[in-house]
Amino acid sequence: MSTTTSPLELQPGERVLTGWGRTAPSTAVVRSARSTADVQDAIVTAGGRGVLARGLGRSYGDAAQSGGATVLDLSAMDRIELDVAAGTATVGAGVSLDAVMRALIPHGWFVPVTPGTRMVTVGGAIAADVHGKNHHRDGTFGSHVQSMTIVDGRGDVRVLDQVSTPTEFWTTVGGMGLTGVVTEATFDLIPITSSRISVDTVRTRDLDHVMDLMLTGDDAYRYSVAWVDSVHPSGRGVLTRGGHADAERLTSAGAQDPLAFDPKVLATAPPLIPNGLVNPLTMRAFNEAWFRKAPKKRDGELQHIAEFFHPLDIVQDWNRAYGPQGFLQYQFAVPDDAGHLVGAALAALRGVGALSALTVLKRFGAANPGPLSFPQPGWTLAVDVPAGVDGLGPVLDRLDEQVLGAGGRLYLAKDSRMSPAMMAASYPRLAEWQRQRDAMDPDGVFTSDLARRLSL
Amino acid sequence: MMDALGEPQGVLVLGGSSEIAIATVLALPRGRLRRVVLAGRPSPALGEAAATLTRAGVQGVESADFDASDTSLHAGVVDAAFDGGDIDIVLLAFGVLGDQAEAEADPDAAVKVATVNYTGAVSIGLRVAARLRQQGHGTLVVLSSVAGDRARRSNFVYGSTKAGLDAFAQGLGDALHGTGARVLIVRPGFVRTKMTTGLDEAPLTIDPQDVAKIIVTALRKGKETVYAPGPLRFVMAGLKSVPRPLFRKLPL
């Protein structure tokens, strides 16, 4: 018997990781960090392939994976502490927004920003500087962070906030985990009296219709998002807008506990789904059904928070529906004067048969100081497409050029295929960010497949 | 890094003047390609291969000295290539055909073929595999041959080296299964290249560009073994089951 261990076989702790789109896998040693000391130890003992923190793996591309590296799982750092007087929560970086909501909604507090899934960690929300349906009013998650604790590339523990360390703070917000490992954050909460949203719904005829309604009416709503039928050439859709409902409306309707919050997973997608389940026929049927199920117009409907914000969380592992070749999400932001790119992008993708089930249109408000923070004022469109579609690459490259030409950019938490040149040109403050990142991580300990691919 | 649409950024060619390898680099999606290392013996052919790629608009073409038969230098070749950045695709494309009659008359000539085609491939293949494992991703494409599927009287020295190489590549692929690093075995039949110039063409003869297309499709689909052209799979399955007394008499 040989006593030499094979360098080829999978070693204990090694795992093959992908993003939510299940494309371009790579293998890393996944290590659980239970304390700040664990994080420091991982950083100072890092090998040549570096260190990266990974949350729940909901970024679509390669942001939360790093081939050959040590990938830190901070789910054991799970503190949740509510400060009622300050209206803030102090939460471990590995805690999911799902856990935060389950803990805080019954006490009458809501997170300042939630993306379309609750299954993201606080650390991930800061790294990607996530946005939600209230961006036009409230900005990103990062802008509501009062302070955060990180371990930088030297292994030093630092507390960052917007006032005393604005440079380090905003380099980390939207910095894709490349400035340090966030271990804890304190962020603002929204006081609520019920766990329901009062929702106004309108079925929209075409893109002009929905964009006009959003331009003229979004300011009256805290939350606003439009779903667009990617199959129908008109770009018809469903616009849903709303705000937190007052408890009086629920109690008058007979509700026992206006702050109840216990969303369930109703189904789990099976692990093996063949390629081809998502095809033009099923996409056509899905889009038609999604359009038809919405009321033509209804005001003041009470929806649970989970139903309004996170409809997809009902089906666990729904990303498997795209089969083994996986999928990607193309999300861009462009200024108001380039609103025509929304229709142009949908037409270009229809042209190669890349039909999307989840096509989401939103308005963005003001940008924050983060050099790599994605949102900028104007429109943002997000489109899911199967990665196996023939001719998809050139179509997306042409769209990149149009987005860039309009002064827009792509969202790093979704990207899995843009070129390094597109990255540098569309984020003109990249060099400034890199200088600040180098100061926080002089030896380049933090890296990811995304960082290597885009030369960040 | 390979992106979500299977577009590579870094490619290493072992046997840098191989026509099949150059055709494969040219057939790969090129939009994200930024570094192609052509490793081979310094020769006009290697320089011409690099010039062909550069003329075609391929970015970042480099040449590196590599001699398959000098295994003492292999570690340095592999380290230099991988230290310059992640390699998404490695094409193991070197090999010599040799002359069967000469090999039978001069065993040293046969040993030379075996050293390049088999020993050299084992040496560099294991070193490449270790680096793919360290970086956590990447595919080693091994150019085998249908000649390795069944030894023929007319070229069994070459055929036996390809049989050994093929068996090595299969085992290596199995060892790497589930690690993020992969092996793709390509078994071409008769391909019109400088290696086969002057030989009689066999049925199903194809060009390097045809093999290249098959390799690129197989990479995108994550295949483990492909024949080039595809129908050779069935031809070879038939030939492998022919009894030896009959096989000896076949005009192959």
CATH number at residue B20: 3.40.50.720
Which range marks the domain in which residue B55 is found? 10-249
pLDDT tens track for A89-113? 999 999 999 999 999 999 999 999 9
Tell me if B32 is assigned to some domain: yes
* Record: contact B5-A417, CB cut-off 8 A: yes
Chain A residues closer than 8 Å to B178 by CB: 10, 16
Which residues touch B217 (CB under 8 Å, ≥6 apart)?
A: none
**From the CA of B221, how many Å to the nearest CA of chain A?**
8
Count of other CB atoms within 10 angstroms of residue A3: 4
B118 noted as active-site residue: no
* Record: contact B136-A27, CB cut-off 8 A: yes
Which pLDDT band holds residue A265 (cuts at 50, 70, 90)?
confident
Total of domains in chain B: 1
Statement: residue B115 has pLDDT above 70: yes
Domain A80-192, CATH among 3.30.230.10, 3.40.50.2300, 3.30.465.10, 1.10.10.60: 3.30.465.10
**From the CA of A24, how many Å to the nearest CA of chain B?**
5
Prediction ipTM score: 0.93
Report the range of poorest mean pLDDT among A115-124, A346-355, B107-116, B206-215.
Answer: A346-355
Nearest CB to A8: which of B3, B31, B133?
Answer: B133
Q: What is the mean pLDDT of residues B165-180?
A: 97
Nearest CB to A453: which of B1, B130, B136?
Answer: B1
Q: How confident is the model at residue A207, as a pLDDT? A: 97
Report the range of poorest mean pLDDT among A336-345, A346-355, A365-374, B52-61.
Answer: A346-355
* Record: contact A21-B4, CB cut-off 8 A: yes
Tell me if B5 is assigned to some domain: no
Q: How confident is the model at residue B197, as a pLDDT? A: 86
Q: Give SS3 for B234.
A: helix
* Record: contact A67-B3, CB cut-off 8 A: no
Report the range of poorest mean pLDDT among A98-102, B166-170, B218-222.
Answer: B218-222
The one catalytic residue among B158, B168, B190, B227: B158
Q: Residue A157 in contact with residue A93, Cβ under 8 Å?
A: no
Q: How confident is the model at residue A359, as a pLDDT? A: 94
Q: What is the DSSP string of B126-145?
A: HHHHHHHHHHT-EEEEEE--
How long, in residues, is chain B?
252
3-state secondary structure chain A: CCCCCCCCCCCCCEEEECCCCCCCCEEEEEEECCCHHHHHHHHHCCCCCCEEEECCCCCCCCCCCCCCCEEEECCCCCCEEEECCCCEEEEECCCEHHHHHHHHHHHCEECCCCCCCCCCEHHHHHHCCCCCCCHHHHCCCHHHEEEEEEECCCCCEEEEECCCCHHHHHHHCCCCCCCCEEEEEEEECEECCCCEEEEEEEEECCHHHHHHHHHHHHHHCCEEEEEECCCCCCCCEEEEEEEECCHHHHHHCCCCCCCCCCCCCCEECCCCCCCCCCCHHHHHHHHHHHHHHCCCEEEEEEEEHHHHHCHHHHEECHHHHHCCCCEEEEEEEECHHHCHHHHHHHHHHHHCCCCCCCEEEEEECCCCCCCCCCCCCEEEEEEEEECCCCCHHHHHHHHHHHHHHCCCEECCCCCCCCCHHHHHHHCCCHHHHHHHHHHHCCCCCECCHHHHHHCC
Tell which of B137, B177, B219 to mutate to test the A interface (max A CBs under 10 Å).
Answer: B137
**From the CA of A310, how many Å to the nearest CA of chain B?**
25
Nearest CB to B3: which of A6, A9, A453?
Answer: A453
**Token output for B98:** 């040799």
Q: What is the mean pLDDT of residues B154-181?
A: 96
- Please list the residues that pair with A73 across neighbouring strands: A32, A54
Chain A residues closer than 8 Å to B31 by CB: 393-394, 397, 419
Chain B residues closer than 8 Å to A420 by CB: 34
Count of other CB atoms within 10 angstroms of residue A276: 12
User: Could you tell me which residue, A315 or A218, shows the higher pLDDT?
Assistant: A218
* Record: contact B181-A25, CB cut-off 8 A: no
Statement: residue A199 has pLDDT above 90: yes
Tell me yes or no: is domain A196-262+277-422 CATH 3.40.50.1820.
no
**From the CA of A296, how many Å to the nearest CA of chain B?**
38
Chain B residues closer than 8 Å to A23 by CB: 3-5
- For residue A392, the chain B residue with the least C-alpha distance is B5
> What value does the mean pLDDT of chain B take?
95
Q: How confident is the model at residue A204, as a pLDDT? A: 96
Tell me if B1 is assigned to some domain: no
Domain residue extents for chain A: 80-192, 196-262+277-422
Nearest CB to B4: which of A6, A328, A452?
Answer: A328
Tell me if B3 is assigned to some domain: no
Chain B residues closer than 8 Å to A61 by CB: 4
pLDDT tens track for B123-146? 999 999 999 999 999 999 999 999
Q: How confident is the model at residue A345, as a pLDDT? A: 97
Question: What pTM was estimated for this model as a whole?
Answer: 0.95
Q: Are strands A181-188 and A145-151 parallel, antiparallel or unpaired?
A: antiparallel
User: Could you tell me which residue, A65 or A356, shows the higher pLDDT?
Assistant: A65
Q: How confident is the model at residue A2, as a pLDDT? A: 64
Report the range of poorest mean pLDDT among A49-58, A151-160, A310-319, B159-168.
Answer: A310-319
- For residue B126, the chain A residue with the least C-alpha distance is A8
Nearest to B67 by CA among B50, B48, B43, B90: B43
* Record: contact B137-A25, CB cut-off 8 A: yes
Which pLDDT band holds residue A254 (cuts at 50, 70, 90)?
low
**From the CA of B233, how many Å to the nearest CA of chain A?**
24
> What value does the mean pLDDT of chain A take?
94
How many residue pairs bridge chain A and chain B with CB atoms within 8 Å of each other? 90
Nearest CB to B5: which of A28, A393, A452?
Answer: A393
Phi, psi of B48 (to 5 degrees): -65, -40
* Record: contact A62-B1, CB cut-off 8 A: yes
Q: Residue A15 in contact with residue B184, Cβ under 8 Å?
A: no
**From the CA of B148, how many Å to the nearest CA of chain A?**
25
Statement: residue A320 has pLDDT above 80: yes
- For residue B10, the chain A residue with the least C-alpha distance is A453
Statement: residue A1 has pLDDT above 60: no
Phi, psi of B195 (to 5 degrees): -65, -30
Q: How confident is the model at residue A323, as a pLDDT? A: 81
CA A252 to chain centre: 36
Q: How confident is the model at residue A354, as a pLDDT? A: 87
